[in-house]
Structure 1
Amino acid sequence: MKIRYNRTLASTLAIVVATGVASSAVAQEAPIQDATMTDDEIVVTAVSRGQNKLETSISVSSISEDAIANAAPRSVAELFRNLPGIRSESSGGEGNANISVRGLPVASGGSKFLQLQEDGLPVLEFGDIAFGNADIFLRSDFNVRRVESVRGGSASTFASNAPGGVINLISKTGEQEGGSVQGTLGLDYGEYRLDADYGGALTDTVRFHVGGFYRQGEGPRRAGYDGNKGYQIKANITKELANGFIRLNFKRLDDRAIGYLPSPVRVTGTNSDPKYQGLPNLSPNEDTLHSVNFTRVLGLDGNNNAAISDIRDGQRPLVNSVGFEAQVEIADGLTLTEKFKYSDVSGKFVSPFPSGIDTAQSVANGIGGAGSTLSYANGPKAGQAYAGTNLLIPVVLFNTEIESLNNIVNDIRLSKTMDAGGGNVTATAGLYKSSQSLATTWNWNSYLLEPTGNNAALINVRNAAGVLQTENGLVGYGATFFGNCCRRAYDVDYNINAPFASLSYDTDRLSIDGSIRYDSLEARGFVTADGPVVTKDVNGNGTISVPETKVTVLQLTSPQPINYNTNYWSYSGGVNYRITSDLAVFARYSRGGRANADRILLNSNNISVTSGQLLNDDVAVDFVNQAELGAKYSSDGLQIFGTLFRATTEEENFEATTQKVFSRAYKATGLELEGSYRSGPFSLTASGTYTDASISRDNISPANEGKRPRRQAQLVYQVTPQYDGDRFTVGANIVGTSASYAQDSNELKLPAFTQVNAFFNVRPMEKVQLSLNANNLFNTQGFTESEEGSIPTNGIIRARSINGRTVSASVRIDF
């Protein structure tokens, strides 16, 4: 039997215990824990060569290893919220977050214009693959030395498909001898986790690092079963050479994590001043539609054959990756840099999505006709008349098989530095090659589920004559509530060749640089669309049930070819001037492209269904133009960085949940501010971004022009005050957002919210630390999205909130 502790009681007890430990701790020097990049730290992300922050003409920030530990993020999306300029909607669990930068749109999900990287190479070539968002395949653990982000600027020319910016998780490589092991327990939620890492020298010229985690538990919301279970192992070994180094990298990720999708939420008040509250027994931030009564389902596979799926797979990343990295000075001032990675990527995405919510009788009548009756299909009340609330949730199960997201990436560049005119000139030329597979199959079914977060039961319908219209809650083998759409399969390979070059000139005070990139993309493969609704004995019992007359199949005999090429130029130029040793100013202008992938494939207006050629070249690539003007100051424990920005963006996209096509342009103007201050044991880091964004053109819905893009808040911010004593560290990580609009119609508002994460670390003896972390300490309901753009007649929308309060305790031993 699982025991779930009272959240408030557990939090109180944990604080009392930790305080008691602190009172008996022996003195120990407190570590310096700073979330911002120091002025002498070398920038390595999306640049031609390493430079310190005050000498670069780009907007760059970082989060240190200690700051990551203090924030105790439950996902990488929560971690990214601490980066200025980044809008990270961390409400989907450990993946499937919507992540954007500087007002660039999130029309359909994922991180379209922002690339997620590990050690300078992309996790996936495209960050917004439907049901394969890049963050699903990314985990933060003790392997991470720091997180570095570049917004705009040179990301356009030193990475493909990243015109908005790059977030890069940089690994430890064994420079420091030693390691750590940490055990973490969820005090008021199901989480048992072990993290460990170790690195150091094998010989005078060889060093290594290895680390990873294993965790298991229900997760931050009540699901009724262990929804999060898996592990990651990463390792590298480095050989130092007289003129450089070579390094081998390895990664294995095998994980299961619940993917939280929108949940029914009641809204009162008005669109401009709404009041959000959960339904009885269904909390928006502590519950989920996942249930122990809804775990294994029968459906069809990619060959239209019967197959069993396990909903407990959730977001199921399987990654085996191996890489090679080298940097060698082959002549005086001439350096060769090579990075290669092969990743075998597969998995699953399965999670229930509410297609709507209505009165139980209306839903029943819509399926079985007037006079239909309802009963429990399973659970402790199986067979009894449905006596729950007067509501019922029609659910489409998003069941997507990820056969392959394999990718091969190689980035090779040659740089030469020369003395010229009282300064240095550095010329760089390189070639980026990648191959990204995209093979997924959508195997969706439709069900009826009671609206409760406490192990909801499936519901059956009988018509007025008593004839069963469902089968154990199953309504149809397909997206019945979406008009029987969305049985589809993709099998497409994207090959990219991108030569690039840059030239920079540096003196003691002045730095000028320019860079160009030419991306050539080749798309080859096929897509298979949904076919007719047929009658099929799916379960093979020799009889045909009503759901078996609603079977959507794939058109296996008539796949649509994909056979097109596209190419485009990107460029970036900037200047940085160091006024004093502490103060610098910079300006930059950039243009970068993002090639569209699966989101445009099934639109017959985009691609010929017979030849696979582009019918409209404009849909293949979306461009982002950005102008930046910034200032940086760093001296005596105080750092302040500010950047004014202006961005215009094109957008061709498709949204799976609404079947909506987007064809638009956007503009955004704003200000990023970031700073830190330390005085003795006290430190403060903070950042905030103000963005004024609007839809400047909408080719499909002109009425949206001039309106703010959906979910785009004008202000996002984070503040982290911290006190480091001799024996303890205490602080808080405060993350917030102003109000935004649920949809582009600018009617229903998503309210402003602030999330407070608190941390308390005690060092009772050398190399031992006890930690208490409270994520969302005040149990705030913070809504990041809504399917509805205005309050409907029944006052219930489908919305997604951040997780509720979760408190964890950890014991860490360094050695």
Structure 2
Amino acid sequence: MALAVPAYAETPANPAISDEGHDAGGDVGQKPSGASKKAVFSTGVAKGRDLLDSAISTSALGDDRIRQTSARTLGEVLRSVPGIRVEDLGDGGFANYTIRGLPLAGSGSKWLQFQEDGLPVLEFGDLSSLTNDMLIRPDLGLARIESIRGGSASTFASNSPGGVINFISKTGEDEGGAIQLSTGLVDYDSKRADFEYGTHVSNTLRFHIGGYYRSGAGARDAGANAFRGGQVKLNVTRDFANGYVRLYAKFLDDRQASYTNGPMRVTGSDADPTYTPIANFDPRHDNTISKYFPNPIGTGVAPRILRSDLSQAWRIKSNAIGLEAKFDIASWTFMNRLRFSSNSSAAGGSRPILVAPATTIATIFGGPGAQFVYATGPKTGQIVTNPAALNGNGLVGYSAANIVDSPQADYFVNDFRASRVWKVGGGDLTLTGGVYKALQNFTSILSLSTAFQDFAGPDSALLDLRTAGGTTLSQGGIAAYSVWPSTVIGNRYSDVDYDITAPYGSINFHKGRLTIGGSLRYDSGKVTGQRFGSELRGNRVAVRPIDVNGDGVISIPEQFADGISGDMPGLVDYSYNYLSYSVGVNFRVSDRFAAFARYSKGARALADSIYFTPLLSTVTGKPTNSKDTYNPVRQAEAGVKFRTDALTLNLTGFVANTTEQNFQIITGADGRLTVQPFNRSYRAYGAEFEGSYQRGPFSLTASATYTHAEIKSDSTDATLAGNTPRHQPKLIVQAMPVIDFGPVAFGSTLVYTGSSYAQDVNKLKMPAFTTVNAFIEYRPIDRVTVSINGSNVFNALGVIDVSQGTLPADGIVTPRVMNGRTISAALRFNF
């Protein structure tokens, strides 16, 4: 059995232990391995083990399959991984991820750990202004993606009770490289250049370099280049007789669009709704920001005036350097990985707080007879004389114009382990021990203003509101430099350091057909820092006059500014610790068939989601209950595995129990966004299937996950007990058929997502949908490939989030949806 503790999931294209001794796993996206070609999965040491002798659930995608998924974003790629649920907006980051029924209340990947080359890219995947998928950009230098799912991940890494996804880079083992140029077709504005090259400098020295640069408006035209930038990754490996040393670096500076909720019309009933785009605004192709939106200005601490030049995009920077070494010494295998990365993010965007007919919004905020006047765009200064016909939809949004920054999120991580195998009683006894150390700094700024806007696709503009008496209540479309009292959330600033230490160990015994073992991990963390926010004053946002634009005059919007007092910090000062364990048994019934079972307990430490909640004392910064600093997860799983030369089948049943303290954004009874904190427990059970089949030029990979999830209890709202958690479909199915004749190859990726409830009240549903990606590759001559690929080729409407819990009276909701159809072409030269 390969236990979860340091089981780095790294699978060569032909599953076998590599010269680095990296972890190897079976790749259902590659040709199935027969009994004579054992799919090996190791625990990060030189002794690998056949997957049929391992009590774990793993999957992998090779670089060819990653390219053939025709995915535009990392989230789209990961939708092909069994058991993982992805809510991807299509903007290249800030997608939501969870696994095997674990709740998806907030954003990011709370229960999943994302890694690059065996080390996490961030300690916490659900930070408010920086998430895992923002720091990972697939390119030609990516060799494969592997995942470990289920309870074994509890001791695989810190803060990863649901699973681990590892992105493994090419290291120059294969000589040569490639250059690829691609462009969007039809209405898809995207231009991108990729390159990669690896070679052996000598018998003991090799390197690999790769990266990309891109530019374009993207899938949702905002009238500007929302996507601009790229990355370069480099690694150099020096091989020795008994090991290797590798240095690597990454330089990422990229901008991606900031997609948020947009208005749609819904008819029918809560149980059977029909979602329809409004006139002149289709959220599959349009964004809530446009070229006519000014750069946002907001208020911070003291108060500091904040300006962002990113009204069109989210900018991510990451500079990382690392070292990896492995040596066999006196029957022991020692491995150490370390990395330091300097990370930051900054964004400006717009999210509707309230969407309604223009006359309704004007009356609510300006009184009877109020009118809108264009504040930006070619119609600046013109009165909206026929609000019911505005842009053909008659709608106006009272929106949050936000600045969401993380100016510093430096991260140092080191993982050291030692392992040895003894011959005991005719079997192999493997002992592994190590220490994991991480230092995560996280600064976060949230500055919110409110503005009036219309919805006209790439021509959307801001509006000023004028009373019947002629008084203009807004300035350049800005209604206030706060969102209070529209929502209970206020401007925030925090600067917090995490110091995490986790010793771990495992013992495994393999004899004949039987494998049995267990592992332990003890996480302890020290959290210190400061937080500033008006919400700390008894959960009430205070506003005051501030000359935000510096013109010497306090305008009406500037009278309502959320200025955070710099002399009123809230402390963050607490420690946490928890024990994780995993035990499992595997029985090799025959050469082709095996069965396994596992029970695990893990946890996930809470990050910035508790900074501005009653869970932390505003005076001492300590939790009112020490158990509120982490969420435990208990899981049991059992499964069978079958493998022949042409066919691979895996079936796993699972059950998971967890508790969670978090908050989620919903639409209140008055139609406005509100923040809802909660403290609840969950239970989920289900089954997970994956398989692959290969015959001649035809191959098929497929998977399906059935999940039954339930809110067991909720101390903040007892009426939710027994309900299904929001966004939890019962069934997710993936399939990828491919036909490869050599000169020509074509195929598709299909993902079916079942219906789910928009909110925990279990009323309004989000319908089931199926997205289809497709590709065709033509190789006219050796080393040259021309390809055309399409994402969501049938333009399916995939609703993944609705803030309303029930069908509103006016039939207007503000969902998030997946991108519509995009088509691109590429030319690749291999050398």
Distance 1:574 1:69, change over 3 A: same
The within-5 A match list for 1:594-633 is: 594-604=604-614, 606-633=615-642
Residue among 774, 779, 787 paired with 1:771 = 787
In 2, Cα distance between equivalents of 1:269 and 1:293: 35
Look up the equivalent residue of 1:204 and give its one-letter code.
N
Give the TM-score of the pair, scaled to structure 1. Answer: 0.94
**Is residue 515 from structure 1 mapped to residue 519 from structure 2 by the alignment?**
yes
CA contact (8 A) 1:37 1:61 kept: no
CA contact (8 A) 1:281 1:454 kept: no
In 2, Cα distance between equivalents of 1:781 and 1:36: 33
CA contact (8 A) 2:219 2:820 kept: yes
Q: Which moved more, 1:492-501 or 1:397-406?
A: 397-406
In 2, Cα distance between equivalents of 1:621 and 1:326: 32
Look up the equivalent residue of 2:600 and give its one-letter code.
S
Residue among 34, 59, 62 paired with 1:61 = 59
In 1, Cα distance between equivalents of 2:484 and 2:310: 19
Unaligned runs of 5+ in 2: 1-26, 535-540, 666-672
Indicate the residue corresponding to 2:109 in structure 1. 111
Indicate the residue corresponding to 2:774 in structure 1. 758
Percent of pairs identical after alignment? 41
Q: Which moved more, 1:42-51 or 1:530-539?
A: 42-51
Cα shift at 1:156 = 0.5
In 2, Cα distance between equivalents of 1:790 and 1:398: 27
CA contact (8 A) 1:158 1:500 kept: no
Q: Which moved more, 1:566-575 or 1:33-42?
A: 33-42
Distance 1:274 1:377, change over 3 A: same
Look up the equivalent residue of 1:373 and give its one-letter code.
Q
Unaligned runs of 5+ in 1: 1-31
The within-5 A match list for 1:270-669 is: 270-312=269-311, 314-332=313-331, 334-386=332-384, 387=386, 388=390, 389-480=393-484, 482-483=486-487, 485-530=489-534, 532-604=542-614, 606-655=615-664, 658-669=674-685
Cα shift at 1:452 = 1.9
In 2, Cα distance between equivalents of 1:643 and 1:813: 41
State the secondary structure of the residue aligned to 1:214.
strand
Look up the equivalent residue of 1:732 and give its one-letter code.
S
CA contact (8 A) 1:396 1:481 kept: no
| 1:158-202 residue CA offsets vs partner (Å, 9 max, x unmatched) | 200000000110111111000011001101211000111000101
State the secondary structure of the residue aligned to 2:67.
helix
Q: Which moved more, 1:734-743 or 1:528-537?
A: 528-537
In 2, Cα distance between equivalents of 1:239 and 1:736: 45
Q: Which moved more, 1:504-513 or 1:520-529?
A: 504-513
Cα shift at 1:297 = 2.3
In 1, Cα distance between equivalents of 2:481 and 2:171: 50
CA contact (8 A) 2:151 2:634 kept: no
The within-5 A match list for 1:5-16 is: none
Indicate the residue corresponding to 1:34 in structure 2. 29
Look up the equivalent residue of 1:260 and give its one-letter code.
Y
- How many corresponding residue pairs? 782
In 2, Cα distance between equivalents of 1:755 and 1:583: 34
In 2, Cα distance between equivalents of 1:110 and 1:538: 32
Cα shift at 1:46 = 8.3
In 2, Cα distance between equivalents of 1:658 and 1:49: 53
Cα shift at 1:98 = 0.7
In 2, Cα distance between equivalents of 1:484 and 1:118: 38
The within-5 A match list for 1:154-169 is: 154-169=152-167
Distance 1:172 1:80, change over 3 A: same
CA contact (8 A) 1:302 1:443 kept: no
| 1:512-559 residue CA offsets vs partner (Å, 9 max, x unmatched) | 120001000100001101262111111121222110101101121010
Indicate the residue corresponding to 2:81 in structure 1. 83
Q: Which moved more, 1:476-485 or 1:292-301?
A: 476-485
| 1:693-748 residue CA offsets vs partner (Å, 9 max, x unmatched) | 11111111111111111000000111111111131001111011110100001101
Indicate the residue corresponding to 1:243 in structure 2. 242
In 2, Cα distance between equivalents of 1:51 and 1:717: 29
| 1:327-348 residue CA offsets vs partner (Å, 9 max, x unmatched) | 111112x111101010101121
CA contact (8 A) 1:258 1:312 kept: no
Distance 1:35 1:488, change over 3 A: farther
CA contact (8 A) 2:446 2:493 kept: yes
CA contact (8 A) 2:160 2:603 kept: yes
Cα shift at 1:92 = 4.8
Look up the equivalent residue of 1:462 and give its one-letter code.
R
In 1, Cα distance between equivalents of 2:90 and 2:527: 30
In 2, Cα distance between equivalents of 1:45 and 1:743: 40
CA contact (8 A) 2:687 2:707 kept: yes
State the secondary structure of the residue aligned to 1:659.
strand
Distance 1:464 1:108, change over 3 A: same
Which 4+ residue blocks in structure 1 deviate beyond 6 angstroms?
45-49
State the secondary structure of the residue aligned to 1:764.
coil
Indicate the residue corresponding to 2:14 in structure 1. none
Cα shift at 1:33 = 10
Cα shift at 1:312 = 3.8
| 1:554-601 residue CA offsets vs partner (Å, 9 max, x unmatched) | 121010111111101000011112222211111111100100011112
In 1, Cα distance between equivalents of 2:348 and 2:49: 43
| 1:386-437 residue CA offsets vs partner (Å, 9 max, x unmatched) | 2414321111023112111111100000101110111110101100010111
Cα shift at 1:222 = 1.6
Indicate the residue corresponding to 1:195 in structure 2. 194
Q: Which moved more, 1:471-480 or 1:262-271?
A: 471-480
Cα shift at 1:668 = 0.6
Cα shift at 1:306 = 2.5
In 2, Cα distance between equivalents of 1:215 and 1:751: 34
CA contact (8 A) 1:141 1:213 kept: yes
State the secondary structure of the residue aligned to 1:549.
helix
Q: Which moved more, 1:366-375 or 1:740-749?
A: 366-375
The within-5 A match list for 1:218-233 is: 218-233=217-232
